[in-house]
Each structure stands twice: as C-alpha cells, then as structure tokens.
Amino acid sequence: MKTALNILEAIGSSLILLFQALGQIFSLPRQLGRTIDYCFHIGYLTFPIVAILSFFLGAVLALQTGYSLEFAGGQELIGRIVGLAMARELAPLITAFLLAGRVGSAITAEIASMTVYQEVDAMRTMQTPPERVLVMPRLVAIFIMMPSLAMVAIIIGWFGGAVVAQHVEFIGLDPTSYWSNLKSVVQFKDVLNGLLKAQIFGMVIVLVACNQGLITRGGPREIGFSVTKSVVSSMFMVLLLDYCLTRILM
Amino acid sequence: MMAEEHSTQPVAVEVKALTKQFGDQVVVNQASFEVRPGEIFVIMGPSGAGKSVLLRHLINLEKADSGQVLIDGLDAADASTHRKIRTALVFQAGALFNSMNVFDNLAYYPREHRLYGRKILREKVERMLAIMNIENAAKKLPSELSGGMRKRVAIARALIIEPQLLLYDEPTSELDPVTAANISEIIGTLKEEFAVTSVVVSHDRDLALGVADRVAIMIGGRLLTVATPEELKQSKDPEIADFLNPKIDVHDPRFRRLG
C-alpha cells in the first residue's frame, strides 16, 4: 500500500513539475544558452555510446535471427526482422535506457546536490525558480535531441545487422537482399512510431530525474539513494509506457 | 541594456501572530514584531529556537500555518511581493553555486534578470568584490574559499541584488572571533552605503549587542521581548539574563539539571 502511494505521489509531483516547467516556457529565449549547453551534454555527448550500443544490438539481433532461421531457411527475412525490431522497439528502448543511466543519473545527482546544499533555495530567493533554470531547458533539450538520438540508433542498428548478415559464414546474406528485404517491410510509419516512443521516453526520464533531485532531503547518502531511485523509476516508467504505447500504436 | 527601474527605499516588515508547526512540534509560536525601514533588527536565541524558520517565512521559503508576514504592507507569502520588493537572504552556509566561480556567483542575479550590459555588470561585480575586500577571489570556486570569505561572497551576492530587505541567517556562525567581528562590522556599516532594512538571525551576542538597532529574543519558538541593546543589557528577566550571560558551572551543569 505504502509503495503504491509512493509511486502515485512521485507520478503526481512529476506531473506538477511538468506543468510548472511548461509555465516557464516563455522565458526560453533567456535560457537559450543553458538549453544549448544541455543539448550538448544530453544529446551530442550521448551519440557515440548510442551508436556503439545500437550497432551491437542490431548485430546480435541479426546473429540470433540468422541462427534461428538457419535450419528452417528464410534467412533473407533477417532484414525484415532487424528493420522492424530496431525501428519500432529496440532503438527507442535502448536509447531510453542509456539516457536513464547516463543522463538521468547525472541530472538527479546535480539537482539533488543543489537542493541539499540550499542552492535551489538560493535560486528561489533570487526569483529564478528551478523550474525555469534547471528543468525547462533540460526538457526542451531532450525534446530537440531525442529524435536525432533515436534516429541514429535505428540506422546504426540496421547497419549492424547488415554487417553481420554479410560477414557471418552461416548467414552469408548479400547486402542488396538485406536492404531490399528491410525496405519492403519497414514503412515511414514504423520509424515515426519509434521516434514518438523515444520522444516520450526522453521527456519522462528527464522529468523523473529532475523531480527526484528537487525532492531530495538529507545529505550525501540521500543523494546516492535519489540517483538510484531516479534510474530505477525512470526505467520502470519507460517499460510501462513502452507496453502502453506499443499497444496504442499497433 | 539599461537597469530596470526599481525602488531603492528600505522597507518595513510586520510579522503578525506567525505560527509554524512541523508535525507535533510548534517551531514558531504566535510571533509578532515590527521592523522599521532601514533598521538593523537582530533575532537572537539559542539553537533550535525557531529563528531560522521564522526568517525563511520572510522570504517565502516557508508557508505559515497561521499568521502573516507583511513587507511594506504586501504579503510575503505571495511570490509577486518579492518581484515588487527586492529581498535577499544570506544563507547560513552561504548556499553559493558550487559549480560557478565567485564572479559568476555575484553576476548570477543581474544576468538572469538582464539588469545590466556586460561592461556595467563587470563594474558592479568588481565594486562589490572591492567593498567586501575579496577582489582576489573572483576566479576561485566556492570550495577554494575559507569560511569567512565564503560568508563575504554570500553577502556580496545578496548586496548586488540591491535589496530593500536583506536577511542574514547566522552570518557569524562557525567563524573565529576576529572573522566574526569583521562580518559584524560589515553588517553594521552596510547601511552607510546601502539603504536597506536588515533582519539578522544569530546567537552571537557580540553581533547583536554591537550592531543592532533593536534585538528580539526568541526562545522555544516564543518571542520573549523586543528591546534595544542597552535595554537588553539591563534586563532582569532570568531567561534573558541567562541567555545573554550564561554562567559555566561544572559542579551543577545544565544538562544534568535539564535531564
């Protein structure tokens, strides 16, 4: 019962924070410098690791599919399977998980530390609410960067699959068949679904991370707990939303 | 870019029957007092008396359970009051932005509110650093500063707001006697340079009796008296006299009497 109440409370306070941050959107021009800075840290610096991870994810997916289909034949279906799985599901999900671990944890640690050491109170006394300075620019940054991150993940994942399909002996699929098979089934709608999912996941991760940071009380130990809680909560929320969105977008 | 027009007149503060409770514990109990414009008003009391909580109500960091705080006749619990009247708080631990250097800490408020152009901002910050005698610390991070310097940076950051009401939370705590006296002198002489009403929360007797125009004594959440330093020195009230001149008696220690 208590856990359920805590979850509802966290969802409620995150939603309130979202509305408060959206209420500060008029001050975006003044926060442009910060927003660009967050775009760089949240987005640009995450590209390499997203690329590496999605390449291997696409590669492993092709490998497993190729292995499974080896006896039954129909290895030309690899392109289709990797194409759809990466676009609709795996790319947004892996990008979101990576973001929760790399960016969400950093956001919570920074804001929690600022809260504990009264820097957030100081901001409030200087008429610069944290929703304006710390939350809104990050939400805008993730809104801008997340589609690009997810798109990179999708394309690199496809390439990972193509490399494995061509070079692993027991698959030996030529790139032309792989890509034509992929193109025959993957539609623009599938990619769009993936990008939409990624967009929502990104916003949720940043929101949960900021909210967890702002409600932290105590000292260094509690900052650590908050970071863990932020990552676990946002991953849980991503999985929950993933199911709901997949069901809706089918 | 020109500075925004704002009043630089010091303001009056009126606290009316303020009560704040955390759980079952009443931290501030029906506190009422007035602070005159331009006055240095010190709220003294032992640790845990509710002074800092009371102070946080003045700058809208706490919401009262009952009662009201008026700043120049406007409700302090209303966020718009603090946009109309410039208020600032010097936090006990400084609350400096740890990832910014001293210069950027001081420039934070004017930059965020687009008050001055780059040149004027630099001049203002440099002037403030000079007033506080911390010019050499401009490029340092807060973690590289001593306790006394950190307090001076915190005061400078509050002063650059050009506040009409300046609040200090334990400005001399955790400082050696000479540095504490230095900070007390800064607080005492600021009104020569800045037209500001100062409310200081402290348990530092030397600060209170040395620089205050009036002093309020707060014990156990209750405001016992408001008096001038001279009146307080002559007070016959045993609670006040004991607080101002505690006698150390190792043969009959307080903690055993209280236990």
Tens of pLDDT, residues B90-124: 999 889 999 999 999 999 999 999 999 999 999 99
Give the C-alpha separation, B199 to B212, whole Å: 9
Task: State the nearest Cα–Cα gap between A65 and chain B, in angstroms.
Answer: 49
Average pLDDT value for residue range A219-223:
93
Gyration radius of chain A's alpha carbons: 21
Which residues in chain A have their CB less than 8 angstroms from residue B111's CB?
none
Subunit contact A117:B98, Cβ cutoff 8 A: yes
Give the C-alpha separation, B196 to B10, whole Å: 5
Residue B79: beta bridge partners? none
Subunit contact A30:B61, Cβ cutoff 8 A: no
- Residue A18: predicted pLDDT: 95
Whether A27 has its CB under 8 Å from any CB of chain B: the answer is: no
Query: Tens digit of pLDDT for each residue in A80-138?
Result: 899 999 999 999 999 999 999 999 999 999 999 999 999 999 999 999 999 999 999 99
Give the C-alpha separation, A242 to A63, whole Å: 25
Degrees, nearest 5: CA angle A204-A53-A49: 75
- Residue B3: predicted pLDDT: 44
Whether the pLDDT of residue A231 is over 60: the answer is yes
- Residue B236: predicted pLDDT: 84
ipTM of the complex, rounded to two decimals: 0.88
CB A170 within 8 A of CB A65: no
- Residue B258: predicted pLDDT: 63
Backbone φ, ψ for residue B194 (5° rounding): -125, 135
Cα-based torsion angle of the residue sequence A132, A138, A139, A145 in order, rounded to the nearest 10 degrees = 150
Whether the pLDDT of residue A38 is over 90: the answer is yes
Gyration radius of chain B's alpha carbons: 19
First to last CA, chain A: 33
Question: For residue B31, what is the enclosing H or E element?
Answer: strand B25-35
- B interface mutation test: which of A27, A30, A126, A132 has the most B CBs within 10 A? A126
**pLDDT band (50, 70, 90) for residue B2:** very low
Whether the pLDDT of residue B157 is over 80: the answer is yes
Degrees, nearest 5: CA angle B102-B6-B90: 35
**pLDDT band (50, 70, 90) for residue A162:** very high
CB B198 within 8 A of CB B159: no
User: B191: which 2 tokens?
Assistant: 């009104």
Subunit contact A125:B112, Cβ cutoff 8 A: no
Whether A228 has its CB under 8 Å from any CB of chain B: the answer is: no
Residue B225: beta bridge partners? B217
**pLDDT band (50, 70, 90) for residue A3:** confident
Whether the pLDDT of residue B259 is over 60: the answer is no
- Residue B235: predicted pLDDT: 84
- Residue A224: predicted pLDDT: 96
- Residue B27: predicted pLDDT: 94
Query: Which of the residue ranges A23-37, A164-178, B108-122 would you say has the lowest mean pLDDT?
Result: A164-178
Which residues in chain A have their CB less than 8 angstroms from residue B113's CB?
127-128
User: B121: which 2 tokens?
Assistant: 């901002």
Which 3-state string (H, E, C) describes B139-189?
Answer: CCCHHHCCHHHHHHHHHHHHHCCCCCEEEEECCCCCCCHHHHHHHHHHHHH
Sign of the dihedral through C-alpha A16, A21, A22, A24: positive
Give the C-alpha separation, B202 to B199, whole Å: 10
Whether B36 has its CB under 8 Å from any CB of chain A: the answer is: no
Subunit contact A125:B89, Cβ cutoff 8 A: yes
Average pLDDT value for residue range B43-47:
89
Residues of chain B numbered 130-169 and touching chain A (CB < 8 Å): 161
Average pLDDT value for residue range B184-211:
87
Average pLDDT value for residue range B183-190:
86
**SS3 label, residue A28:** helix
More confident: A73 or A167: A167
Please give the share of chain B, as a percent, with pLDDT higher than 70: 97
